[in-house]
Amino acid sequence: MKKVRIGGASAFYGDSQLAARQLVDKGDIDYLVFDYLAEITMGILAKAKARDERQGYAVEFVTVAMQDVISDCAEKGIKVIANAGGVNVPACVTALQALCTDKGLDLKIAGVYGDDLSDRQAELAADLIEMETGAPLPEKLASLNVYLGAQPIAEALSAGADIIVTGRVVDSAVVIGPMMHEYGWQQDNYDALAQAALAGHILECGAQCTGGNFTDWHLVPDFSTMSYPVAEFSEDATFEICIPPNTGGLVNVGTVGEQMLYEIGDPANYLLPDVACDFTAVNLQASGTDRVHVSGARGRAPGQYYKACATWIDGYRLMGMAFIGGPRAAEKARSSLNAWVQRTEREFEKRGLEGYRDTCLEVIGAESTYGPHAKASDTREVMAKYGLHHNSREALGFASREFAYLATSAAPGMSGFGGGRAQPSPLIRVHSALLEKSKVPVTVQLGDQILSQTTYESESSDAAAGERYSNISITGSSELVSVPLEKLAYARSGDKGDIANIGVIARKPEYLPWLYQQLTAKAVADYFAHLVKGRVDRYELPGINGFNFLMREALGGGGSASLRIDPQAKAYAQMLLSMEVKIPEPMS
């Protein structure tokens, strides 16, 4: 059967400069794909374009990644797809064309755009009601984009494009598009599209499926020569995740399964512009050394809406920390931080300024983030971390300058001022909504030629119930012992705005009944009660013996809207792995 190999070279804007070279040299790939655009990145790029019309795209895609490998990609016939266009796809295309001229290359470069709706804010405001809260669209936005799908990418490939640059597309579109083109999958071949979407989701975070952030990180051979992932597709839409030879990563059912559960909600209703996916029956099987075979994703019609994402500025925040050492270090940190907050608020009142809108004071090293589960009661060195939210940049500037008084006017042992004063920065919030596809014309351009300007409308379908566990029962009367969840399961956590998720996979099938009975939504909600204020739901994935927990109002606003040390739930799974679970003595 025809095989197609896709290498994932970037998980975010700022990822490794060496990933593309590894995949081009060692990956035996047909496509090299990059994911650059997180929600907040769009606001940052929009700000850059406002300063300079030539900016607004992922500049390092051109100046670093393509500068390094574009000649080799041309020689080997490797096609490149990246959402590096940000809010200025034409500028990114122009920069690539200049690079090709400089290197004497004749490559066809396509642009896909239409996602940036910032100039249509007034027209569309009434449609863009926040999905979770029902709030109206804020008046002053930093950015406004919809997440486009894969069809325009497939069109550009069919027209002969060698490099495709897009604006905001769903992360998996850079994989779905090539598969539609290579295998001729039509828009209603939903099961095949769901498989491609799953592959895209697994690749989108780069090395997170090849040992990065893996629960059993100690088994990864060599982080210094970390592997970047390759998905090898077959015509039947199954695929294998593997790595380039002689690299230091790891691929097994755990690494792939964790990434599969990363940052998804209901696994039976993972909604994309091209397909609505059901991952509850996905099967992962080791198929060789550092190879995992993936099958079982199911799809259906995706519906009539794009997800829209706006970013907006809601005042300012000040974030920083200082080192404190010696006996009772945590107590000293709390005393000093609280004194500083009280001192500055008292001065705000004198100056006719309002108080802080929010404060977050955490003692790193004393397990502040663990709340009632903390165990570090007598540590002798900590980082006193602060996060402050205020409407006034000037107020936070005063607070930043006044922080230094603690060095000689508070508890002893404070250090770490050499890095200079923390600076106030905009507090950026995300507003997510749905927008009818019929209202978003998408442009596909190849060179100077407009290939199409069209809308991509879809049929609607009902939500799927998905596979669920049946006949889950606990048998036997052995004496029970308590063990940390880490002994029984893999786990990975992530974020979407103020929503966190934790995916959990049983290490062995025999552990599943005990996890099913004890790792309930209520148990997880109780465990995270000090951090999570909203509802916690548990979803089931029998295909991989897994669960996905979705936690709302979980991150203090999330991302750059949060004052917490962990605003993206990166450590939530690691926290949960310390939770005690009871199992029979022989299993322990």
Per-residue pLDDT of 564-576, as tens digits, reads 999 999 999 999 9
d(CA 265, CA 282): 16
pLDDT at 587 over 80: yes
CB atoms within 10 A of CB 547: 26
pLDDT at 204 over 70: yes
Q: Which residues have C-beta within 8 Å of that of residue 529, sequence separation ≥ 6?
A: 371
d(CA 331, CA 346): 23
Judged by DSSP in three states, 546 sits in strand
Reference 127, options 431, 430, 429; nearest CA is: 431
Residue 432, phi then psi, degrees to nearest 5: -110, 140
Q: What is the DSSP string of 83-116?
A: -TTTT-HHHHHHHHHHHHHHHT----EEEEE--B
Element (H, E) at 583: strand 580-584
d(CA 56, CA 515): 47
pLDDT at 404 over 70: yes
Strand duo 425-436 + 305-325: pairing: antiparallel
CB atoms within 10 A of CB 528: 23
78, 82, 88, 91 alpha-carbon torsion, rounded to 10° = -20
Question: For the purposes of burial, counting CB atoms within 10 Å of the CB of 567, is it exposed (0-12), middle (13-18) or buried (19 or more)?
Answer: buried
Tokens 């050499």 found at: 418
DSSP type of residue 411: S
d(CA 312, CA 497): 13
Q: Compute CA distances 384 → 47, 208, 437, 467, whole Å.
A: 32, 30, 48, 46
pLDDT interval class at 419 (50, 70, 90): confident
pLDDT interval class at 377 (50, 70, 90): confident
* Average pLDDT of every residue of the chain: 96
Per-residue pLDDT of 463-518, as tens digits, reads 999 999 998 988 776 799 999 999 999 999 999 999 999 999 999 999 999 999 99
Question: For the purposes of burial, counting CB atoms within 10 Å of the CB of 1, is it exposed (0-12), middle (13-18) or buried (19 or more)?
Answer: exposed
Task: Return the pLDDT at 33.
Answer: 98
pLDDT at 334 over 80: yes
pLDDT interval class at 330 (50, 70, 90): very high
pLDDT interval class at 393 (50, 70, 90): very high
d(CA 150, CA 173): 4
Strand duo 163-166 + 109-113: pairing: parallel
Q: Which two tokens stand for residue 247?
A: 């690299």
38 or 487, which is more confident: 487
d(CA 421, CA 425): 13
pLDDT at 418 over 70: no
Task: Return the pLDDT at 303.
Answer: 94
Per-residue pLDDT of 246-284, as tens digits, reads 999 999 999 999 999 999 999 999 999 999 999 999 999
pLDDT at 171 over 90: yes
CB atoms within 10 A of CB 392: 15
Which runs of consecutive H residues, i.e. helices, occur in 287-392? Answer: 329-350
Task: Return the pLDDT at 477.
Answer: 67
CB atoms within 10 A of CB 457: 11
Task: Return the pLDDT at 588.
Answer: 76
Q: What is the CA radius of gyration of the chain?
A: 25
Question: For the purposes of burial, counting CB atoms within 10 Å of the CB of 236, is it exposed (0-12), middle (13-18) or buried (19 or more)?
Answer: exposed
* pLDDT above 90 coverage of the chain, percent: 95
d(CA 507, CA 520): 17
Q: Which residues have C-beta within 8 Å of that of residue 474, sequence separation ≥ 6?
A: 513, 514, 517
Per-residue pLDDT of 48-99, as tens digits, reads 999 999 999 999 999 999 999 999 999 999 999 999 999 999 999 999 999 9
User: What is the pTM assigned to this prediction?
Assistant: 0.96
Q: Which residues have C-beta within 8 Å of that of residue 94, sequence separation ≥ 6?
A: none
Q: How close are the terminal C-alpha atoms of the chain, in Å?
A: 45
Task: Return the pLDDT at 130.
Answer: 96
Q: Compute CA distances 354 → 341, 401, 563, whole Å.
A: 13, 18, 18
DSSP type of residue 125: G
Q: What is the DSSP string of 197-216?
A: HHHHHHHTTGGGGTTTT-TT
* Sign, CA torsion 214/368/429/276: positive
